[in-house]
């Protein structure tokens, strides 16, 4: 009988790439040189310059420069292909010009696998210089480009910061269902499916469930996919995206929710600086200042940009995308902030569960967060009283019979609460200074795109 005792590096699939690199760097920093190391990775490029060839290996986060020498390295370079998986062993020395500050003079190369065909596009180029359409068509291969993959490594960091920060603030992580009963949240933009002969939909947001869970844990969050069947084919819409949601009970004001988001953004900035510095450097990302974020009322914001940019207010109850951009520009110019909270959205533009402003019921205790002129978050305080939620649902023409489970939480008692939803890809798009949200979506889903 064999037994498994868990991971140690000798027993498992070779050294973890970044860890192997870290170990090498530590030894170099300690003054060692000329020591032997073994590394596994994909052959990213081969630059053959006669009796010497530079073999660049692609590891999980970094590129490592290896030097092949005819007669020294026990392998025929002619048999080495780009996108082969290899294990190499060689001698490590510092090399200022190499990507990681060292290079490995190869003694042996062992091919672990080989491709069947050369790449259809040179993914090792620094910038791909190809159309977005091609980048999306060839997504599984294109993502092997170091800049492309760095974008999604940064997204790991954003989601990690979201979870870690909220766990530290006493939140509980939840996993709510994505297949939901018809009409759970109303609205037209839903994907419908047949669920064992019942009409079902894909969740547009975890709104109802996270509110239910506020009654259970007080503070909850979820990072999970949401689905919107919107027919918009714009640079900022996706039909499936990752929503970072939280909901918190026992608030004194909807500004508590904004405070919590500000705290998250500050934590995110610190985490990305500390643990994702190589990706930030690779992509040339300058993290925004989030030490303080201005806030402005919806109607005031409209007035300010109308005056400053001589733009007539067409609809006092709606924000056009261009107005959002101008609000972003205004707060950049006037207050040096790339973020701005726009508060007190009109009641008619917010869902029924948004709490009305007690001082003026035409507006709600809600907000959007704009980042460089793009809405990345919608949030606010929610109704918590039973009669009030019934009243507001009826005002919107919703049928209370279809939402008994949701309404029950108010009937049996809910604390004052609020929360928000943050679109991961939109936040990433702005951080990365991309002009199309698809650049920040791993496998984007849009009106025309269902594959890969």
Q: Scanning residues 255 to 284, which ones bind a copy of itself (CB under 8 A)? A: 255-256, 258-260, 262-263, 265-266
Q: Does 117 bind a copy of itself (CB under 8 A)?
A: yes
How far is residue 374's CA from residue 382's CA, in Å, rounded to a whole number? Answer: 23
Q: CA-CA distances (angstroms) from residue 383 to 119, 270, 387?
A: 56, 34, 10
Is residue 82 reached through a cis peptide bond, with omega within 30 degrees of 0 on the bond before it?
Answer: no
Kindly state the smallest distance separating residue 51's Cβ from a copy of itself, in Å.
26
How far is residue 187's CA from residue 386's CA, in Å, rounded to a whole number? Answer: 22
Tokens of 298: 């919806």
Q: Which of 143, 270, 271, 398 binds a copy of itself (CB under 8 A)?
A: 143
Kindly state the smallest distance separating residue 217's Cβ from a copy of itself, in Å.
5
Q: Does 139 bind a copy of itself (CB under 8 A)?
A: yes
Kindly state the smallest distance separating residue 341's Cβ from a copy of itself, in Å.
7
93 vs 169, beta carbon nearer a copy of itself: 169
Q: Does 5 bind a copy of itself (CB under 8 A)?
A: yes
How far is residue 345's CA from residue 323's CA, in Å, rounded to a whole number? Answer: 14
Kindly state the smallest distance separating residue 64's Cβ from a copy of itself, in Å.
13
Inter-helix orientation angle 146-168/255-275, to 10°: 130
Q: Does 173 bind a copy of itself (CB under 8 A)?
A: yes
Which range, of 26-34, 206-214, 309-317, 393-401, touches a copy of itself by CB under 8 A?
A: 206-214
Angle CA 268–164–149, to nearest 5: 55
Backbone angles phi and psi of 168, in degrees to 5: -65, -20
Kindly state the smallest distance separating residue 132's Cβ from a copy of itself, in Å.
17
Tokens of 225: 């996919």
Looking at residues 118 to 137 of the shown chain, list those that interact with a copy of itself (rule: CB under 8 A).
Answer: 118-120
Q: Does 47 bind a copy of itself (CB under 8 A)?
A: no
Q: Is 170:246 a contact under the CB 8 Å cutoff?
A: no
Angle CA 202–419–367, to nearest 5: 100
Q: Which of 47, 70, 122, 225 binds a copy of itself (CB under 8 A)?
A: 225
Looking at residues 424 to 443 of the shown chain, list those that interact with a copy of itself (rule: CB under 8 A).
Answer: 424, 442-443
Applying CB under 8 A, the site for a copy of itself has a residue count of 135
Backbone angles phi and psi of 245, in degrees to 5: -115, 140
69 vs 87, beta carbon nearer a copy of itself: 87
Q: Does 405 bind a copy of itself (CB under 8 A)?
A: yes
How far is residue 134's CA from residue 127's CA, in Å, rounded to a whole number? Answer: 14
Q: Is 268:164 a contact under the CB 8 Å cutoff?
A: no
Which range, of 102-110, 124-132, 285-293, 320-328, touches a copy of itself by CB under 8 A?
A: 285-293
Q: Does 416 bind a copy of itself (CB under 8 A)?
A: yes
């Amino acid at each position: 009988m064999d037994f498994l005792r868990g991971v140690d590096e000798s027993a498992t699939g070779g050294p973890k790439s970044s860890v192997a690199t870290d170990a090498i760097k530590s030894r170099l920093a300690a003054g060692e040189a000329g020591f032997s190391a073994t590394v596994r990775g994909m052959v990213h490029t081969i630059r053959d310059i006669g009796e010497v060839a530079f073999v660049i290996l692609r590891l999980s986060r970094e590129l490592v420069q290896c030097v092949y020498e005819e007669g020294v390295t026990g392998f025929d370079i002619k048999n080495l292909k780009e996108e082969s998986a290899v294990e190499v062993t060689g001698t490590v020395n510092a090399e200022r010009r190499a990507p990681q500050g060292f290079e490995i003079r190869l003694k042996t190369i062992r091919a672990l696998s080989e491709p069947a065909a050369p790449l259809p596009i040179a993914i090792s180029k620094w910038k791909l210089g190809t159309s977005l359409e091609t980048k999306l068509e060839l997504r599984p291969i294109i993502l092997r480009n170091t800049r492309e993959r760095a974008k999604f490594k940064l997204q790991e960091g954003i989601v990690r910061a979201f979870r870690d920060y909220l766990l530290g603030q006493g939140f509980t992580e939840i996993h709510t269902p994505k297949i939901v009963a018809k009409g759970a949240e109303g609205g037209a933009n839903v994907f419908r499916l047949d669920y064992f002969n019942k009409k079902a939909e894909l969740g547009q947001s975890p709104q109802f469930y996270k509110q239910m869970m506020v009654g259970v844990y007080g503070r909850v969050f979820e990072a999970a996919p949401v689905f919107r069947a919107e027919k918009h084919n714009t640079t900022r819409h996706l039909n499936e995206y990752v929503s970072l949601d939280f909901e918190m009970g026992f608030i004194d004001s909807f500004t508590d929710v904004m405070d919590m988001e500000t705290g998250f953004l500050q934590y995110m900035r610190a985490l990305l600086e500390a643990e994702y510095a190589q990706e930030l450097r690779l992509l040339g990302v300058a993290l925004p200042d989030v030490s303080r974020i201005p806030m402005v009322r919806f109607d005031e914001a409209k007035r300010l940009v109308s005056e400053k940019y001589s733009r007539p207010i067409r609809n006092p109850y709606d924000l056009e995308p261009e107005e959002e951009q101008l609000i972003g520009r205004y707060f950049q110019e006037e207050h040096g902030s790339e973020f701005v909270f726009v508060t007190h959205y009109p009641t008619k533009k917010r869902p029924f569960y948004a709490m009305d402003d007690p001082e003026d019921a035409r507006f709600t205790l809600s907000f959007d967060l704009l980042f460089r002129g793009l809405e990345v978050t919608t949030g606010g305080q929610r109704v918590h009283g039973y009669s009030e939620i019934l009243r507001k649902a009826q005002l919107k023409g919703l049928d209370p019979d279809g939402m008994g489970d949701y309404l029950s939480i108010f009937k049996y008692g809910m604390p004052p609460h609020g929360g928000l939803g943050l679109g991961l890809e939109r936040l990433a798009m702005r951080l990365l200074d991309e002009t199309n949200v698809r650049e920040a979506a791993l496998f984007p889903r849009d009106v025309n795109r269902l594959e890969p």
